[in-house]
Structures are given as C-alpha cells and as structure tokens.
Structure 1
Amino acid sequence: MKRVFLIVLDSVGIGEMPDAAAYGDAGSNTIRAAASSPYFSMPNMQKLGFFNIDGMEIGEKEKNPAGSFARMTEVSKGKDTTIGHWEIAGIISNSPLPTYPDGFPQEILDEFTKRTGRGVLCNKPYSGTDVIRDYGEEHMKTGKLIVYTSADSVFQVAAHEDVIPVETLYEYCKIAREILTGENGVGRVIARPFVGTPGNFTRTVRRHDFSLQPPKVTMLDQLCGHGYDVRSVGKIIDIFAEKGIKEYVRTTGNEDGINKTIEYMKQDFEGLCFTNLVDYDMLYGHRNDVEGYAKALTYFDERLPELIAAMRDEDILMITADHGCDPSTPSTDHSREYTPLVMYGKPIRAGVNYGTRGCFSDIAATILAYFDIKPECAGEAIPIL
C-alpha cells in the first residue's frame, strides 16, 4: 500500500535565487536567519541530510544521511503561496498573479459594495494585525468591511464576528471571488474574522481562503483520476480550490497540522497526504519574528521522530517549502528563495544528493512516478527508487 506524505514548511526558504534582486530580495535567506537564534535546533532534520543540501550555509553536514535531498528552484513568475504550491503540484506559472500595491481599482470596490450592501475601509497593503488595530473600531461603528492586500496576490476582508457573522463574511468573500477574475484574478480572497474590543482586537482561527481554480492538470488530479486517495491537511484544500482532493481537514496551526498528519498516517489508505504547516509564514516570517521562527522549526524537528515512527514500509516522507519569508530583513513580504526537499522512507535510496533541481514540479513528477503514473503536468522525476 503505497503512500506519500508531502509536508510543506510554509516559507522555509534556504537562500536567495539568482533572480532574487528582481523581486527585491537580494541577500534573503530564511533558514540562515532562523539559525541565528539560540532557539534554533534541528538535529533530526540533520540526520536526514537537511544541512547537506547544495548551498546550505548553516548546520553540520551529516556523514551518512538517512534520507536523500535536493535544492529546489522555482521557475514560475512569483513568490507567493498559490504559485509555489501549484508548481509543487506540476503547474508552471509563466505570468505572476496580479498584485495591488496602491490598492484595488475603484470599479472593483464599487461592484463589491453594490453586491454586499456594505462600504469599504482601508483598501491598501497592510499588516493583518495592524489593519484591525487601525480600522477595527470604525468598522464596528459603521459596519463597513475592512479590505486590504499585501505584496501577495490577495484580496483580504476583515470583519468582527459580532458585527458580521463568520458565515456571512464567507459569503461576501465568495462574491469577491466572483468579481476578481480575468486580469484581476487574484490568487486568493481571504476571510479574516476577528474578535475583541478596540485596543485588544485579535484574529480568530476561522480564516478561510477562496482560491483561483488551478488552470491546468495537477498531480492531485492525476492521482484521483487513477483511483488513489488525496488527503489535504491545512490550507491545501483552499490553495487548490478543492480540486483533486478527496478528503481534507483544516488546522489551527503547526501543532494541529502535525497531529492530524499523524492521524492520517495511522489510517489505511493508498495515495497522497498533502500537508501545509503555515505558522512559519503567517506568525513569524511576516512579522519579522526571528526567535518565533526558530522555535517553530525546532518544534517541528522535535516532532519529526513521531512522524517517522508512524511510517509504514511503503511510505515516503517528503519535506519541502513553497517560497521564503526571511524574518531578518526589513521587508515583511515573501522572499524569492530556493527551497529544500528532504525525502525519507524504506523505498528510497538513502544518502543521495540530487543537487539543484530545475523546478518545484520535480516533486509532482517524482510522486506520480512512485505510483506508476505518467505525468501530464510539468516536472522531471527524481530517481529516488
């Protein structure tokens, strides 16, 4: 019974790519930044060969790695969550998704207001915690929706749960998703509910993403088409707009994501479990919290033996990332970086350095090859068997 457990450590980049300067990311290195903290410790990932990856500037090389590894190159135009995950799943994006550094066009807001019956506040790039601090009280007084964006291709709508019930907020975001198509087809519309009182607002875990449909066939579609299970943990279900996924669970953070991945490991199924651990990006990278980032990586490393212990003879564990988000740079945005790929399991050859790969989609091709499926998506299979 073949199974692959693919875990994305969201934003754990391992060094700037050659074109990083074009994205404003020269010098970015997320893992190096995290490793500068005294809270950083990843001995279990070291044993698998994490620090043996090409270009890795930190950690001690393992003489006899238990896993195999590679450095992954993003070739899609962009550095956001959607494009990164799509490329992992086999889609190369030749054009970046639209971003709005000056806010959204008025005609979009007018249509949104017309269809929701509510006005709009903010309409500019903003930190998610700062925007509710600065606009939350006015929102509560007026009922207007807080609309904001970031350096990513996102249309975010924040609303207090006592003013706008969460299910209603979701309906408003579905309306925005219908409006934002074509040249304004942002990667994600994100519902951002919050609670609290002025001066003490906090976001809740009931965030929900409404993504674009993937424009081409992915490895998820192919696996499902061949009768295999595809199970999603965390926001994978949202990133792929539910396409090519048979079963899913949402999560409240990294700990919950790891726990739910282990729960799936204990169940009988054949196919792929695709997990996103979002805290590195959402809680620490975007907030320039080096120590928090380091602690989160250390926590994953501490839980790694549990994941390995739950593996079966035909299981393969793959650990990768979708982009960088260096918490030590002045920017609070994603960074254009190489990403790691660490692979472990009885079916693969241990201790092999597969070098620097041509695209993230090699992951998709490798997974499909394990299930004896000819890829209809991008990527070249890594000869892991």
Structure 2
Amino acid sequence: MTKRAILIVLDSAGIGEMEDSSLYGDQGSNTIVNTARAVGGLELPCLQSLGLGNLDEIPGVKPVRQALGAYGKMQEKSPGKDSTTGHWEMMGQVLKYPFPTYPYAFPPDLIEEFEKRIQRKTLGNVVASGTEIIERLGPEHLKTACPIVYTSADSVFQVAAHEEVIPLAELYAICQTAREMLAGENAVGRVIARPFIGHPGAFQRTPNRHDFSLVPERSILDAIVEAGQQVIAIGKIYDLFASRGVSESRPSKSNRQGIELIIEAIKEESSGLIFANLLDFDQVFGHRNDIEGYARALKEFDAELVNIMSVLKPGDLLFISADHGCDPTTPSTDHSREMVPVLVYGSDCRPGVDLGIRESFADLGQSIAEHLGVEACGLAGKSFYPLIRR
C-alpha cells in the first residue's frame, strides 16, 4: 500500500498567543477564537468532528469526546511570525535569528542602489498596509510609472505596480533584482510582487502576486524527494521554498482553486507529500481586518473539507495546520505571534488522540517523514507519529 501525506496550511489560522507574544505586540491575539466570538459563533461541523473544538473555547465549535482523528496545538520555536519562517519550521528548519525587518522603512542607500539597478525611481519606501498604500500612491504611480516600495512588520520587501503601467513580466524582473540585492544583513524572508489594476478610488490587487523567497537549507522536502517520492506543491509553497525540494508546482489564486487542486492531486496516483497553502485567510481577510470574510472563509473550507476527506485513499494521512496568526479583530493588520492547530485524519490514524501542545512546528514534518518511511536525521522536530499510528 502506497503511503501519502496531505498537508493543508490554512494561512494565518492561529489559535492563541505564544508565551512571548508581548515581544511582538500581539497580546490577546487568537485568530480563530476571536473571529468566532466577533461573529457570534462559527459552525464548523467537519473541523469540530476532527477535534478543533477540543483545542480552545471556540464559540459555536464544540469539543467532542471521540474525535475522528488526532488534534493538538504547536508552538513556534523560531523567532518571527511570517509564512516563510512557519513553513520552513514545519519542514525541519528552526531559525536561530529572525529575518530582518524595517520598522522605519529601508535604508536610503539600499533604495538608491535598487533604483539604479532597475533604472526607475520608486515611490513610498514606508511601512504600510498594501491596500492603503496603493490608494494613496496609486495616482502618482499612474503618472510617473514609478513602482511603489513598502514593507510591514514582517520581513518583506514589497513592490506594487499597476499591470497596465508595469507589465507582470517586468514587475517580476524588478522583484528578482531586489531578491538578488537583499542578501547578508538585508536578507529579508521574501520579496513580494503586488500587482494591481483599476483607477483612483477603485484600485484592486490582482491574484498575480508572486513571492521570491530565500533558498532554505536542506529540509524534509529534500529528504522526501531523495527517497524517490514526490512533493506536489499547491499554492505558494513553491515560492516559499524557492523551488527547493519541490517535484511539481501547481499555483493557485484563491482558496477555491487551491481546494480544487488538492482534490485533483489526491485522486491521482502518486507517492510522497501533497503540500498546499490556502492563502485567502491571510491575504484577503486577515491583513484587511475583514472579520466577516475570515469567518466565511473558515466555513467554506469546512464545507469543502468533507469532499477532501471523501477522496482520501488507504494509506493517506491528512494534516491540517497553519503557519502563524493574523487576527482580524485586533487593530493591527499584521501577522500575530500565535500557536497553530494540528489536526490529523486518515485510515492510518487512531481516533481521539490528544497530541497536547507540541514544542515546535517541526514535529509535524517529522511525523510526515515517519509516515512516509523517510529518514529525516539532522532536522528539527520530534515525531508524534507513534502516538497516532494504528
């Protein structure tokens, strides 16, 4: 019997502040619980059956005596609260130092060198919300064709441009130039292309975002591929790992498309890991403090989860988790330093197993490796597979 792992990351669906959340200004953050409370309760029957309600007091999501699978929370060992850090740690890479951030914008000499290399002046160089900055600087961008550069509380160098002013291919080339520049002490986690369309007063970001990440060191993805198995990356996984350890990439532009790609991949004959990121929770709702939208996205995923579970094959293990928080109920529009849920389901998983609070996201990757029979020596994490294996 072929064994596979399917890992679905609900981007930003955190479940409670970490002990050190005060260092990040995230006291009180709890993305799932606070969202549920703000909308008067969430009905998530499928996630409830897997044990989500056993992890915290989530209005509308009840604890169950015998969950269909295993459930627990994971703490993040790495410093930081961004997608690159979270995903890398899941796959066995715990960072010793956080990626650099720029609370007062980027150094002038760095921007000057960037402008010289791309042969364009830039606008912005500020800390800002992505939707706010295109509304504010979009009109000037249309007149000058200068790309908009900005950052956030995360380790990101973001470049926004109107698709009719700077074509996508050129925007991506500009971001690739930034990626090549940003090394050493300025080695940000991600350079992000942020294309938009529309006119003043009605600008809208498009789904053609592209992330340019640092290349990670060896991870569990490499170990899976080295063992002759596949890593099928869905959504922005390929970008987050800078293609390393990925056999095949299937990009998605929405949660809905991502879920369709997950179901298609499960139906295929393959081995190894199907690794998916559903980005709407974070990009569309969390960063915009859209509480109703975040709640709706959770309910829509829960409804589709029934279909995902129905196509699992013998030997498949489904893992559902997150990479950080992005609590839409707080004043901040940035990520939040939170624990994340981990839910496991499949024919090889014992029901009703409480995994407790894991010390690292890396425990998830080690568990996947053990399920697949892959050696992951030298990488972080302690497998919980012996607890759930039938």
Between the two proteins, the alignment pairs up a number of residues equal to 383
Partner of 2:8: 7
Structure 2 unmatched runs, 5+ = none
Partners of 2:231 and 2:157 lie apart in 1 by 28
Q: Would you say 1:311 and 2:306 are equivalent positions?
A: no
Report the counterpart of residue 84 of structure 1 in structure 2: 86
Residue 40 of structure 1: how far off its partner (Å): 2.4
Task: Name the CA distance, whole Å, in 2 between partners of 1:258 and 1:38.
Answer: 27
- Over 4 Å off, 4+ runs: 55-58
Alignment match, 1:179: 181
Identity %: 49
**Distance in structure 1 (CA, Å) of the matches to 2:92 and 2:340:** 16
CA–CA distance in 1 between the matches of 2:290 and 2:199? 25
1:193 aligned partner: 195
1:355 aligns with 2:356: yes
1:205 aligns with 2:199: no
Report how far residue 38 of structure 1 moved.
Answer: 4.0
CA distance in 2, matches of 1:134, 1:331: 19
Question: What is the CA deviation profile of residues 47-102 of structure 1, one whole-angstrom value per residue up to 9, with x for unaligned ones?
Answer: 1111112x455431112111111110101000111101111111101111011111
Question: Partner letter of residue 213 of structure 2?
Answer: S
Q: Is the 8 A contact 1:32 1:57 kept in 2?
A: yes
Equivalent of residue 134 in structure 2, options 132, 135, 138: 132
Bigger Cα displacement from structure 2, 21-30 vs 33-42? 33-42
Contact preservation (8 Å) 1:98, 1:184: yes
Q: Distance in 2 between matches of 1:56 and 1:315?
A: 30
- Residue 281 of structure 2 aligns to which amino acid in structure 1? Y
User: 2:96 maps to which residue?
Assistant: 94
Deviation larger for 372-381 or 1-10: 372-381
Contact 2:114–2:178, Cα closer than 8 Å, also in 1: yes
In structure 2, give the amino acid aligned to 1:34: T
Q: Which amino acid aligns with 1:96?
A: P
Distance 1:113 1:98, change over 3 A: same
Answer yes or no: is 1:227 the counterpart of 2:201: no
Partner of 1:25: 26
Which residue is 1:51 aligned to?
Answer: 53
Q: Distance in 2 between matches of 1:378 and 1:82?
A: 16
Q: Please say if residues 361 and 378 of structure 1, whose CA atoms lie closer than 8 Å, have aligned partners that are also in contact.
A: yes
Tell me if the contact between 2:134 and 2:203 (Cα under 8 Å) persists in the aligned partners: yes
For residues 348 and 231 of structure 1, the distance between their equivalents in structure 2, rounded to whole angstroms, comes to 22
Q: Deviations over 1:305-337 (max 9, x none)?
A: 100011001100000000111111111111111
SS at match of 1:343: strand
* Paired residues of 1:213 and 1:240 also in contact (CA < 8 A): yes
Establish whether residue 146 from structure 1 lines up as the match of residue 155 from structure 2.
no
Q: d(CA) in 2 for partners of 1:352 and 1:109?
A: 52
8 Å Cα contact 1:41/1:297 also seen in 2: no
> Which deviations, in whole Å up to 9, do the C-alpha atoms of 1:92-133 show, x marking residues without a partner?
011110111111111111111111110010101111111111
**Counterpart in the other structure of 1:260:** 261
- Distance, in Å, in 2 between the alignment partners of 1:245 and 1:199 is 40
Separation (CA, whole Å) in 1 of partners of 2:41 and 2:49: 19
TM-score (norm 1): 0.98
Q: Cα gap change, 1:56/1:355 in structure 2, threshold over 3 Å: closer, same or farther?
A: farther
- Indicate the RMSD between aligned Cα atoms, in angstroms: 1.0
Shift of 1:204: 1.0
Per-residue deviation, 1:250: 0.8
| Contact 1:39/1:298 (8 A) holds in 2 | no
The structural deviation recorded for 1:374 is 2.3
The whole-number CA distance in structure 2 between the counterparts of 1:61 and 1:165 is: 50
Task: String of CA shifts for 1:11-64, please: whole Å, max 9, x gaps.
Answer: 1111111111111111111111121214722111111111112x4554311121
Q: Which amino acid in 2 is paired with 1:282?
A: Q
What residue is the counterpart of 2:292 in the other structure?
Answer: 291
Structure-2 change in CA distance of 1:135 and 1:234 (3 Å): same
CA drift at 1:270: 0.4
1:345 aligns with 2:350: no
For 2:13 and 2:207, how far apart are their aligned partners in 1? 22
SS state at 2:294 partner: helix
Could you list the per-position Cα deviations for residues 339-372 of structure 1 after superposition, in whole angstroms to 9, with x for gaps in the alignment? 0000000011111001111100001110111122
Contact 2:5/2:372, CA 8 A, preserved across alignment: no
Match of 2:111 in 1: 109
TM-score, scaled to structure 2:
0.96
Q: Partner letter of residue 344 of structure 1?
A: Y
Amino acid aligned to 2:192: I
Instruction: Judge conservation of contact 1:15–1:56 (CA < 8 Å) in 2.
Output: no
Q: Distance in 2 between matches of 1:134 and 1:149?
A: 15
Deviations along 1:176-225, one digit per CA (max 9) or x if unpaired, are: 000000110001001111111121111111111100001x2211010001
Work out whether 1:370 is the aligned partner of 2:383.
no
Contact 1:39–1:295 (Cα < 8 Å) also in 2: no
**Which amino acid in structure 2 is aligned with residue 122 of structure 1?**
G
What's the CA shift string for 1:141-172, capped at 9, x where partnerless?
Answer: 11111000111100000111111110011001
